[in-house]
Structure 1
Amino acid sequence: MRSVLNKGILARYQLREIVNILNNLLTTTENVYPFLQGLTDTSLASLEDVVNTCLSIASPKEGTHELINRLKALVSTIKAIRTTKA
């Protein structure tokens, strides 16, 4: 996780701020796509790494399926935006 936080524009944020950003992206349905489109490819890659890390440590326990599905949807959106920028 530290290596992810040490690269890209996300390196400027504290872990608490990254958690807040992720929480906002996962709970807000409006303005997520434009926000992500405004990020550089390096930032998107860093964010994708953070979300994938969250996915890898999330366990499919009762009550976490919705979070896991939202994380997967966020990763898919990030990948789609990165593909269109390439």
Structure 2
Amino acid sequence: MNEIKLSDDVFEQIKDFDNKYLTEEQESLIDKLITDEELKERYKENGLCKKCKQPRIDSGDCNYCLFQPNFKNWTSGNHD
């Protein structure tokens, strides 16, 4: 399954916006640039992670950046 992500071009256009205080023009641009509703909602609620250039999962640290690097090392705990 492919994960939907913001392109670098979209990130560059919106990186300096304050997601909590978007102007009407910025809101309109966001609606045009971010077509995936889940990503759009995450951006509007939590802003962007400057490291991975994606909308944050929540308002704290970016869960994607915290967990993705070690995902390949995760196991089920089964030793079969």
TM more than 0.5: no
Work out which of the two has the higher radius of gyration on C-alpha atoms and give 1 or 2.
Answer: 2
Write 1 or 2 for the structure with the bigger share of helix.
1
TM-score normalised according to structure 1 size = 0.29
